[in-house]
Structure 1
Amino acid sequence: MGSIIVKNLGKAYKTYPNQWDRLAEWLVPGKRQRHTLKWVLQDISFQLAPGEAVGIIGINGAGKSTLLKLITGTAQPSTGSVAISGNVAALLELGMGFHPDFTGRQNAYMAGQLLGLGADEITALMPQIEAFAEIGDYIDQPVRVYSSGMQMRLAFSVATVRRPDVLIVDEALSVGDAYFQHKSFQRIREYRQQGTTLLIVSHDRAAMQAICDRAILLDRGHLAKQGTPEEVMDFYNALIAEREGSTVQQVLTDEGRVQTSSGTGHATVTEIALENEEGAPQEVLNVGVPVTLRVKVRINQAVPRLVLGYMIKDRLGQAIYGTNTHHMQQPLENLQAGEEVEYRFRFPLNLGAGSYSITTALTSSETHLADNYEWRDLASLFIVMNMNRREFVGSSWLEPHVEITR
């Protein structure tokens, strides 16, 4: 089984004022330093235990791809070290290592040999590679005629034709179609169950939370946060919406979960409750009963336009349902400091048994990336129990009426 240990990893590139300074430093070494260092990564330390799955997230330019290159050895670090045990399969930049003038089959042989497979092994495995990639006769065409999705199909198929001890995947999977993404993640899940250690870069919250045990957030080349996928994704979501005058906070709730909140504070949720038909707040409810989500908002500073959104998440933080008053065409205009607004959303609680949370967002439009007055995860928690419905599985109650004809 494989493991990864990263200690004090850093990567810097030399920058020169002009080309003549670069030449002078090369011709007259040691006389005077003419360059400055631009650090892409600094002081990165973490480790993956055998069989663990860790996801890496961060905005573009945070250093994610550079980190994976340093871990896989395709780039050399300026500081620190990386130790990997076990055989490694890596899928980094799309088509990395593929020669555009060689056929897909020829590239598969070369890529397989880089993974440590012999030519005879690759020949024996080629039918599996072709079957999984599903690119048909293109396997014997030059890679330069491939679409980006076809390159990704072939690269992933070769990299995972044998279960590796360590699998490292960059965002290359994002260019694939929905069918192949599903197929790829299914193979990743199977390898995880068999003990493969996984390091993956992805912005897909659902995939991150479904596959990973832990997540790492990179911000401006530094390790900003480590934790559960839900905790780190919530923090990342708040971080990208952060603007001047806004704050991002995380606190530990009584239930042991980390609550993330952010925003300018121009408006805030003061009360939130899930009520039954009699208007009484409930924390435990039956499957399918009518409920009302009541949210009270206080305006702290003048707001030209106010939109309230809410999202219901399951215990893993996966989104079950979300909407807002912008999509409902019911935004409020020109609210003044000191005003209070009460919202009531009525709907049947067609959820499966389990624990759920509600996230609230106060913004000026359909997204919190423009004006984030307040974003609050885990604003309320509730439990759904199957008290009198027929037995079923899943996160939604969609009981059918059945007609059978013989």
Structure 2
Amino acid sequence: MDDFAISVRNVSKSFRRYRHPTDRLKELLFPGHQKYQEFWALQNVSLEVPKGQTLGIVGRNGSGKSTLLQIIVGTLMPTDGEVNVNGRISALLELGSGFNPEFTGRQNVFFNGQLLGLTKQQIEERFEDIVAFADIGDFIDQPAKTYSSGMFVRLAFAVATSVDPDILVVDEALAVGDEAFQRKCFSRIEALQSRGGTTLFVSHSASKVVELCDRALLLDRGEMLLFHEPKFTIDRYHKLIYAPADLCESFREEIRHTPNLDPHAELDRDDGGTPTPQTPEESPSDGDFFDPHLVPKNTISYIPRGAKIANPQIVTPDGRTVNHLTGRQEYVYTYKVTFYKTATKVRFGMLVKTVSGLELGGASFTASSQSIDRVEANTTVTVRFRFQCLLNPGAYFLNAGVSGVVEGQFTYLARGIDIAMFRVRPDNDSFASGIVDLLIDPHVSLDAEVETVEMRSNPAREPKVESL
């Protein structure tokens, strides 16, 4: 049992459903006259989550996901079965749960923190970090009833993760925040994962489950149908929800008889086939442009060891700075590096990621022929990576890094994580799907007339990396 953070054994949960509100009263006044129908939200669910694992839970609305989480957290009691939790648990469930709408944000922080097991002194020590993470400004001293849904989630997530939980439970709440805040949340979840914490993550976003989770559980009609690798589970889940009504039951039976994985089996993550990221709002402006408000809010910088990165930006070939890009056009990602120590075998790199941290691609001066033999102290250089924007509409983040030998050691001299961000604008004429635009050139052949209709042609071009 010590190996498991959560153990659920044969858990079932039933609720009483009444046709009319007065039926409850009639049942009290006339004992023996049952007026309710029994509804089983969960039926005989068993699972074990090892410490340090991230479990995604997927299923259609009404499948029992939230009920299962509430039983694990302890806000609901199971009708049958037992649950054992090993470690401090922190949960972000229904929007605004645990918040008193009449209290200010500040008062709710102290109230919720104490519910999660922190002392008043511990909350005071973490208060500034909580407020900074939530980023709701002066609203921290306003009643919670004046908050938007996004502000509720910001503050609730900041409090829930401030207690350094062994187990974090998140129920679809992150879908409320904007891209920059979601990235902050995913960064904190990744930090929890890196230190061996356990996460239960409920989401309708298949890509987030595939990217974040080690295993995924499929619930349907209160029944646990499948416990498997994320991509495997998501594929079956999508096939189930899009199955014709007359084939749905037979496919449920097929999934039900698929062997589940051992929770301790070696992980074999398959991150392929990720769905298209969320499409941003369209701008009235034509073409690419620069929005000064589009900046990452959770940049992580490595401790510098001889260099400093500055002014990361994307520019057009004619030199305009932009952060709203047009697909299939050419741009240059550039930044400056100032060396305050002499370095040798210097290399530069960049990386593009999705909102949830999936690494899409990048470039690096990895070969010895591409590195710079020596850069003297007090030198500033400009690094330029020329690329084609082969991404579909969505928000993306950029890394920048420089490595080399300083004082006899090869290491990162400076590195910025999520140091810049950009959006790719929708293109109504594009037929590309997914995240990456593969420049696919489709044709339709009308065999009867032996004609070829060419929908669109755009020969692929090799992305270029422009060195110093």
Please report the TM-score for the alignment, with normalisation by the length of structure 1: 0.63
Counterpart in the other structure of 2:392: none
Kept after mapping to 2: 8 A contact 1:2/1:197: no
SS of the residue corresponding to residue 164 of structure 1 reads: coil
1:164 aligned partner, one-letter code: P
Counterpart in the other structure of 1:399: 464
Aligned equivalents of 1:21, 1:151: Cα separation in 2: 36
- Aligned positions, number: 290
Task: Give the 3 Å change call, closer, same or farther, for CA 346–94 of structure 1 in structure 2.
Answer: same
Aligned equivalents of 1:323, 1:18: Cα separation in 2: 58
SS of the residue corresponding to residue 129 of structure 2 reads: helix
Counterpart in the other structure of 1:193: 194
Q: How far is 1:56 from its partner?
A: 0.3
Alignment of 1:343-358 (within 5 A): none
Counterpart in the other structure of 2:244: 243
SS of the residue corresponding to residue 127 of structure 1 reads: helix
Aligned equivalents of 1:345, 1:8: Cα separation in 2: 55
Per-residue Cα deviation, 1:275-309 (whole angstroms, up to 9, x for no partner): xxxxxxxxxxxxxxxxxxxxxxxxxxxxxxxxxx9
Alignment of 1:211-230 (within 5 A): 211-230=212-231
Per-residue Cα deviation, 1:314-364 (whole angstroms, up to 9, x for no partner): xxxxx6457999xx7x7789x99xxxx9999998788xxxxxxxxxxxxxx
Q: How far is 1:11 from its partner?
A: 1.6
Counterpart in the other structure of 1:38: 39
Aligned equivalents of 1:2, 1:160: Cα separation in 2: 21
**Aligned counterpart for 1:22 among listed residues 21, 24, 33:** 24
Task: Give the 3 Å change call, closer, same or farther, for CA 216–346 of structure 1 in structure 2.
Answer: farther
Counterpart in the other structure of 1:5: 7
Counterpart in the other structure of 1:88: 89
Q: How far is 1:25 from its partner?
A: 2.4
SS of the residue corresponding to residue 463 of structure 2 reads: coil
Aligned equivalents of 1:332, 1:19: Cα separation in 2: 62
Kept after mapping to 1: 8 A contact 2:118/2:163: no
Aligned equivalents of 1:63, 1:322: Cα separation in 2: 38
Kept after mapping to 1: 8 A contact 2:444/2:454: no
Kept after mapping to 2: 8 A contact 1:2/1:165: no
Task: Give the 3 Å change call, closer, same or farther, for CA 159–320 of structure 1 in structure 2.
Answer: same
Q: How far is 1:113 from its partner?
A: 0.5
2:59 aligned partner, one-letter code: G
Counterpart in the other structure of 2:99: 98
Counterpart in the other structure of 1:359: none
2:157 aligned partner, one-letter code: F
Aligned equivalents of 1:54, 1:235: Cα separation in 2: 16
Task: Give the 3 Å change call, closer, same or farther, for CA 202–331 of structure 1 in structure 2.
Answer: farther
Q: How far is 1:39 from its partner?
A: 1.4
Per-residue Cα deviation, 1:42-98 (whole angstroms, up to 9, x for no partner): 111111011111000111121211211111111222222211011101000111011
Alignment of 1:266-345 (within 5 A): 320-321=436-437
Aligned equivalents of 1:202, 1:179: Cα separation in 2: 18
Contiguous gaps of at least 5 residues in structure 2: 260-267, 271-430
Kept after mapping to 2: 8 A contact 1:105/1:139: yes
Q: How far is 1:206 from its partner?
A: 2.5
Q: How far is 1:310 from its partner?
A: 9.1
2:223 aligned partner, one-letter code: H
Percent identity between the two aligned chains: 41
Kept after mapping to 1: 8 A contact 2:4/2:48: no
Kept after mapping to 2: 8 A contact 1:2/1:86: no
Q: How far is 1:125 from its partner?
A: 0.9
Task: Give the 3 Å change call, closer, same or farther, for CA 2–130 of structure 1 in structure 2.
Answer: farther
Alignment of 1:202-217 (within 5 A): 202-217=203-218
SS of the residue corresponding to residue 238 of structure 1 reads: helix
Counterpart in the other structure of 1:123: 124
Counterpart in the other structure of 1:356: none
Counterpart in the other structure of 1:150: 151
